[in-house]
Amino acid sequence: MSLKCSLVLKNVSLSNGTIKDISVKDGRVVHSGMAVDSEISIDCKDLICIPAATDMHVHMRGGDIQKHKETWETGSKSALAGGVATVIDQPNTIPPVVDKESFLLRFSEAEKNSYCNFGINGSVMPGWDINALYRCGVCAFGETFFAESSYGSAVDSNFLKSAFEKIQKKDALITVHAEVIDSGEDDSLTSHEKLRNCQNELLAVKTIIDISKTGLKLHFCHISSPDSVDLIKQRKNITFEVMPHHLFLSYEMFDKNDGFGKVNPPLRSESVRKKLLLRWNEIDVVASDHAPHTITEKTKEIFSDIPSGIPGVETMLPLLINQVLEKNITLQSVIEKTVINPSKIIGIEPPGFTKGSPADFALYPKEPVKITADSLQSKAGWTPYEGMNAVFPDITIISGNIAYKNGEFYKDCARPVRGNGYIAL
């Protein structure tokens, strides 16, 4: 074969047990088999080489008001250092992404500063301009808040039903934050969980399903209850995501007043966490809900003043790959839930090893390390997974180019992700 390539990954172990060399040119796989001539060659014999992940739920913060929490530069570097090639940013920014002007402001910030591929979602709230957002190329409408959360105002059932109808006419995707909040004092992790308990999540999921129509592309954000999983799986064409913090953390692992464990939906009890993890094979997507806040914000004296959210885009895949090494889950299931399924739900082409596939890859060693906040890229400066075992990639590749290698980052690899409604503006 006379084809000259830009990159060859040698001795890649595929999920079917075969070992092949993957040749890349112009950002795509051009050959899978014996290696061809290339400018760069990487031997993957002692590495776990998989398609790089698509994290369909992140909050990259930034802007003038939230840049102290995270920026597109620090957040996208965090993604790459965790084996994530593509992130989809949620629209509850300041200002929220509600129209053409706010979308272009957000898009421009990402385009100038992101080191990884990125897409932008559009807000579903009073004052939104659905037509303009659709033409701008939003990947989805949402995270849509059925219950209020940090920087997200809730919409009621009537507004949501109307929004469903408008979005369905465009054959677009809507993602929904499904909670019902009880009244009471939010003064500890246990009280926070009681106010936003599993039964309330289930009630919200049921209500949202009941007001949706067949054919709507509906996706539930950060499902945390095993019963909610069971209900959603009874319905066709509805998808959902689960977050690593609901799979690997419980409120019982924290002091009751520890704001670093405060998140929406809340961390559940250890028994519920274990039941959720037992639903691994039923889960459509694992996403991070990367939602960084500063240490100062997470250690406020009054618990109710502490914002909800956990940084996690960098630790998501490393935690999952460690579970693969411990033989608790399969590597193929990780690829399905972090690469194939989120890409299909959003409507983008998933990376892979077959000819013509986008050449986004992550190369992991086969030995875990302990997670430490000091080693992470997020501006937040902390992690709830401190001390847990994880496997971080040595190299992350975007479009056949090395975007991250052993702590070094390389810009200009990133590409924007557009929704189906995009027109040249």
**Does the active-site annotation cover 412?**
no
Distance CA 123, CA 134 (A): 11
Percentages of the chain per state (helix, strand, coil), in multiples of 5 = 30, 25, 45
Q: Which of 55, 99, 186, 289 is catalytic?
A: 289
The SS3 of residue 263 is coil
Q: At what angle do helices 157-169 and 198-211 cross, to 10 degrees?
A: 50
Residue ranges of alpha helices (H) inside 129-224 are: 130-136, 157-169, 189-195, 198-211
The beta strands (E) that lie in 249-406 are given as 285-286, 361-364, 369-370, 389-390, 395-398, 401-405
Residue ranges of alpha helices (H) inside 34-183 are: 63-66, 72-81, 100-113, 130-136, 157-169
Nearest CA among 238, 264, 274 for reference residue 180 = 264
Distance CA 176, CA 363 (A): 33
Strand ranges of the sheet holding 285-286, from the earlier edge strand across to the other edge: 141-145, 173-177, 217-220, 238-242, 285-286
Report yes or no: 277 and 245 within 8 Å, Cβ to Cβ: no
Cβ burial 179-191 (10 Å sphere, 16+ → b, else e): bbbeeeebebbbb
Report yes or no: 331 and 366 within 8 Å, Cβ to Cβ: no
Joined together, the tokens standing for residue 194 give 């009681």
User: Catalytic residue numbers?
Assistant: 289
